[in-house]
Amino acid sequence: MVERKYVYKAFGLIIESDFSIPEFIESHGQPEVFIKYGEVKPFLENPDEKGIRFEAAKDEFLLRLDGIAKFYVVSGNKIIIEPDKDAEMDDIRVFLLGSVFAALLHQKQHLVLHGSSIVVNGKGILFAGISGSGKSTLAAALCKKGYKLLTDDLCAIKLNEVGIPEIIPGFPKLKLWEDSAKLLGENIDLLTPLRSKLKKYRLDAESMFSHDSVPMSKIYILHDQNNSELMVEHLQSTNKLKELITNTYRYRFMKAQGGKSHHFKQIAAVANAVDISIITRDKKLTTLEEILILCEKEINTVWER
Residues 284-294: pLDDT tens digits? 656 777 888 88
**pLDDT, mean over the chain:** 89
Quick check: pTM over 0.75? yes
pLDDT, position 301:
65
**CA 127 – CA 138 distance, rounded (Å):** 8
- What b/e sequence results for 219-245 when a residue is b if at least 16 CB atoms lie within 10 Å of its CB, and e otherwise? bbbbbbeeeeebeeeebeeeebbebbe
Q: Lowest mean pLDDT: which of 105-109, 226-230, 245-249, 274-278? A: 226-230
**CA 15 – CA 9 distance, rounded (Å):** 6
Residue type present at position 238: T
Helix (H) / strand (E) element for 168: namely: strand 165-168
Inter-residue contact 118 to 139 (CB < 8 Å): yes
Query: Comparing 280 with 101, which gets the higher pLDDT?
Result: 101
- What is the end-to-end Cα distance of the chain in Å, rounded? 61
3-state secondary structure 210-267: CCCCEEEEEEEEEEECCCCCCEEEECCHHHHHHHHHHCECCHHHHHHCCCHHHHHHHH
* 3 state DSSP class of 167: strand
Answer left, alpha or beta for residue 67, where phi above 0 means left and psi between -120 and 50 means alpha: left
pLDDT, position 305:
47
Residue type present at position 49: E
Inter-residue contact 188 to 176 (CB < 8 Å): no
Q: Which domains does the chain have, with CATH numbers?
A: 6-107 (no CATH), 111-304 (3.40.50.300)
**CA 53 – CA 64 distance, rounded (Å):** 5
Average pLDDT over residues 205-215: 94
